[in-house]
Structure 1
Amino acid sequence: MPGKILITGGSGLVGMRLSELLIDQGYEVAHLSRKPDKVSSYKTFKWDVKNGYIDESALTYADYIVNLAGASIAAEKWTDERKKEILKSRVDSTNLLHKCLGRPEHHVKGFISASAIGIYGDAGDQLMSEESTYGDDFLAEVCKAWEAAAWQMRDLGLRTVILRLGIVLSPKGGALPQIARPVKMMAGAPLGTGRQYMSWIHIDDLCRLFIRAIEDTQLEGVYNAVAPHPVTNKEFTQELAEAMNKPLVLPKVPAFAINLMMGEMSEVVLASQRVSANKVLQTGFTFEYNYLEDALESFYEKNEE
């Protein structure tokens, strides 16, 4: 039975697409926002994480909460200040929700939180499942702290699902337009060795998985939100060039050049993460886009004319 979904981070890439798909399926959707006066097509409640404030009517509104809030990882260089912001924006917002959900006057039935496959660190060719050991780099530490904050919801008796997002593919933002820009300018090349694995997911499959996590009360715990067939960076770049009808002319972009450009953030593109979708598949979820080629064609085939 469709109900009312409250989304944190609703104005981001995933939040906007998820809101559209939820509305299509008959749900009511509201967003928690720092600036609720901004023009939005969704009902918007105010929250202010720094000052520990949430509009009380937001929590009495919601049947389910989808937690996507967090400062963008790729928006700017990782200064010490920015790294604090990346961590705090995720942990503090989740802790604030936990504190407010500890009060009795809401009827929230479940808490669905994003995390990321960054938790596995740079794992080379090893296939990582939900039980695999965690990495110890910056992103892994962020994900561990984020998940620990989300797990507190179980102590309140709330069904809690954590989805570890792979690289979310959408032409509207995130990694894909950034990877596509040099390819478009005929300057595309694999990054680093090109052998590092990229575990990706089409944005529509990801949003369908969030909806599944809301609707299927059997789902609980951690799931990797990745398509079943990860590819190496070199394969990704080749498939992308093909989908965009562009040649790949440059040799590989060496790791030291990427480090120079991106600093520590280069671990986002140079780390290898080959992540298993088996646990999600065992729930009976079917991906619309199992292979990278299909996913990329869904974005680029229309532009061929």
Structure 2
Amino acid sequence: MVKVLITGGTGLVGKYLQKKLKDKNYEVAILTRTPTLKNEFGWNITEEYIDDNAFKNITHIIHLAGAGIADKRWTNKRKKELINSRVLSTDLLLKKVKELNIDLKGFISASGIGYYGAVTSPQIFTETDAPENDFISKVCVEWEKSALNFNQLNVPVTILRTGVVLAKSGGALSKMNTPLFLAALGNGKQYMPWIHIDDLCNLYIKAIKDTNFTGIYNAIAPEHHTNETFTKTIAEVINKPMFPFKAPSFILKVILGEMSSILIKGSRVSSKKVNELYSFNFPNLKTSLKNIYNNE
């Protein structure tokens, strides 16, 4: 029997993934700071606490927890929180799996295409490319390093470097469907690797079912879009006018500080490796948006 423990299970991806797992008759347990339901269990990273009952009969861990990258300005305090919420939580999970001698069949962790840095270049990044030397890259590098420590226990590890997740409720689309973001940001030529939430959840499920689906994968759709073409496609699908002027980079820098780099910079990321093992239900942006907004 498969039983999956999810961290970050109450977030955008976690909620959708819970439903898909339950539809497939997988048992699901959730780690949360404020447990209220029968299948929810408490944890506190700063106190290095996890309810031992959360690990009862689990076969897989899906680790989604982490402070929101774009939720607040990147002060020094916030930067520390962004890294610690990912790394210390992973380290705590590893410690408990060792302590309780859990026979884990797989550890599946989120990561981000931020691994390649907030850069705009002609390069199409693959999983074997080196990380960039900026903050967003450092977050992902440290995150992945902590996840790969599960290999020390001979636990198979799968890491999904995720782009912009497209979903109807919450996430990037709810922020982009506003007057400011229905305009190209900066010069609009930065790329925006993306994935439909249905495909992303299917990849997490594949990592449970397919013992060969281990290692690091770019979890992004195969169709490349710049910020400008992405925004034009949203405007077309939801039948709203796109703002005729671009949002200047300097204004975004004033409003958002260093965090603006993840909006005004971006390169293409290759989906070739994952595409050889998985067929996307939504490889096309327009089809994805129609499905989300119009249920087509």
TM-score strictly above 0.5: yes
Instruction: Write the distance in 2 (CA, Å) between the matches of 1:218 and 1:103.
Output: 27
Map 1:141-180 → 2, pairs under 5 A:
141-180=138-177
Map 1:106-125 → 2, pairs under 5 A:
106-121=102-117, 122-125=119-122
Map 1:181-196 → 2, pairs under 5 A:
181-182=178-179, 188-196=182-190
Please state if 1:97 is matched with 2:96: no
User: Which residue is equivalent to 1:295?
Assistant: 288
Deviation digits for residues 206-247 of structure 1 (CA, Å, limit 9, x no counterpart): 000100011100011100000011200000010000011012
The offset of 1:302, in angstroms, is: 5.3
User: Which residue is equivalent to 2:275?
Assistant: 281
The offset of 1:60, in angstroms, is: 2.9
Map 1:262-281 → 2, pairs under 5 A:
262-281=256-275
Map 1:218-297 → 2, pairs under 5 A:
218-283=212-277, 285-297=278-290
User: Which residue is equivalent to 2:29?
Assistant: 30
Paired amino acid for 2:145: A
Instruction: Write the distance in 2 (CA, Å) between the matches of 1:302 and 1:168.
Output: 17
For the aligned residues, what is the CA RMSD? 1.5
8 Å Cα contact 2:120/2:190 also seen in 1: no
Instruction: Write the distance in 2 (CA, Å) between the matches of 1:271 and 1:301.
Output: 30
What runs of 5+ residues in structure 1 fail to find an aligned partner? Answer: none
Paired amino acid for 2:46: K
Instruction: Write the distance in 2 (CA, Å) between the matches of 1:47 and 1:249.
Output: 44
Number of matched pairs: 295
User: Which residue is equivalent to 1:18?
Assistant: 17
Question: What SS does the aligned partner of 1:181 have?
Answer: coil
Deviation digits for residues 173-202 of structure 1 (CA, Å, limit 9, x no counterpart): 11111111227xxx8210011000000000
Question: What SS does the aligned partner of 1:112 have?
Answer: strand
Could you state the TM-score of these two structures normalised by the residue count of structure 2? 0.96
8 Å Cα contact 2:179/2:243 also seen in 1: no
User: Which residue is equivalent to 1:74?
Assistant: 70
Deviation digits for residues 69-112 of structure 1 (CA, Å, limit 9, x no counterpart): 10111112222111111110000000001111123532221100
What runs of 5+ residues in structure 2 fail to find an aligned partner? Answer: none
The offset of 1:53, in angstroms, is: 1.1
Name which of structure 1's ranges 95-104 and 27-36 shifts more when overlaid on structure 2: 95-104
The offset of 1:273, in angstroms, is: 2.5
User: Which residue is equivalent to 1:133?
Assistant: 130
Deviation digits for residues 90-145 of structure 1 (CA, Å, limit 9, x no counterpart): 00000001111123532221100000000001142210000012111111000000
User: Which residue is equivalent to 2:54?
Assistant: 58
8 Å Cα contact 1:188/1:250 also seen in 2: no
Q: What stretches of structure 1 move > 4 A for 4+ residues in a row?
A: none
